[in-house]
Amino acid sequence: MNIVSLSFSYLKANKLSTTLNLLLLAFGISVVVILLLLVHQIEDRFSRNAKDISLVVGAKGSPLQLILSAIYHIDYPTGNIKIKDARKIMKNPLVKQAIPVGLGDSYMGVRIVGTNHDYFKHFSCEIQEGKIWEKPLEVVIGSQVAMLTGLKIGDKFVGAHGLDEGGHAHDSHDYVVVGIMKPNGMVTDQLILTAMESIWLVHEEKQEESKDTKEEQHTENEMDSTAAEDKEYTALLVKYRSPMGAVTLPRLVNSISNLQAASPAAEVNRLFNLIGIGADILRFFALAIIGISFLSMFGVLYNALKERQFDIALMRTLGASRMKVFLLIIFEGILLALLGTFLGIILGHGGIALFTSLYKQAENQITALIWLPEEFYLFVLAGLAGFLSAFIPALQAYKMDIAKILAR
């Protein structure tokens, strides 16, 4: 028999200890894998959604709150800003593009975002069914929204005030679905997009009798008219024309009394520093579990050596060299470590798959069907740890005096 078959035979013969060690190691590895997959994909999603957005301009308040609400739509806005103030930023020669965002309403907990066609292009949205909106109160919905709400092309619905379910309904205006976007793994999958004028219309307290006629005359270019000076945006997503904008624009924005400038890159880094603390704690406990499993493996191999003394002595008398016995114990440790790591990686990916199947909104943002380079390193580290845990028992087997053992 060779070393491989002997190692497998021994592990099968000691099913209880082998199974316990494999499960303990696999559990620790699975926690590490789940953390790796979640953190990697969350960071990737945050980076892709904030791509090419140099600055977010909004009402004064928390910069992080402004970023989370205006880009990622996972927090409440800091307030609204007047168009006349926003224009000072939009017309600045250092600004290449400024995309307006209007928030405040939702449907079944899904946020309704007023904006223009530049927002649609910036996030690389494509129409899967229908068309993009052409006039107020027409909406394009994300793929996750269509699945969650059951809305289809031509369906009408009423938005509710506030960003959570249960807000006051705007009964005087019906939105109509004219398009459904292809899933792209971006925040737009979970949004209802419409013209900025739609947001203004549903929040008008008094409607003139000629409202229906005026709705037909509204266009996206109308926001530049003098009549729109009293309207408001929630935020501006700004892209610099040159690096000089990073030096000048934030200071200019903050000099306007009711405006603030927030850098997505800086705020996201700060957010991940906060998230990283929790991830590091979980990673520490996972590594502690892995460490305990390798100590347990060392104990099992060391104690098993006493029970196998006669078997090893018999192997030696049949021609097995000291080195072959040494390698046999080493291989058993490495084999056990690699099997536990493989099982842990399977459990980790399976855990992510179970999470996405239970939480449908995460289906397009988080996937179990990716392989990270760090997972390969787990095999390398596990093999090294298996070698170290088996080294002392293997050295004891190497030094074993077979004459004394056979004499007993």
What's the pLDDT tens digit per position in 105-152?
999 989 999 999 999 999 999 999 999 999 999 999 999 999 989 999
Mean pLDDT of the region 189-209: 79
Instruction: Write down the residue that tokens 């095999």 correspond to.
Output: 379
Name residue 17's amino acid: S
- Helix, strand or coil for residue 236? strand
Check residue 32 and give its pLDDT: 87
Instruction: Please report which confidence band the pLDDT of residue 11 belongs to, taking 50, 70 and 90 as the band edges.
Output: confident
As a whole number of angstroms, the distance between CA 296 and CA 91 comes to 67
- Alpha-helical runs (H) found in 112-257: 117-122, 143-149, 196-202, 211-217, 244-255
pLDDT at 218 over 50: no
pLDDT at 17 over 60: yes
As a whole number of angstroms, the distance between CA 301 and CA 393 comes to 6
Check residue 360 and give its pLDDT: 63
- What does DSSP assign to residue 159? -
Check residue 167 and give its pLDDT: 65
Q: What is the DSSP track for 258-274?
A: TEEEE-HHHHHHHHHHH
Q: What is the DSSP track for 178-199?
A: EEEEPP-SSGGGGEEEEEHHHH
Mean pLDDT of the region 222-243: 76
Extended beta strands in 299-381, E state: none
Check residue 284 and give its pLDDT: 81
Check residue 295 and give its pLDDT: 84
As a whole number of angstroms, the distance between CA 57 and CA 233 comes to 10
Q: How far apart are the first and last CA of the chain?
A: 26
Check residue 198 and give its pLDDT: 93
- β-strands 110-115, 191-195: how paired? parallel
Domain boundaries, the chain: 3-46+272-407, 55-262
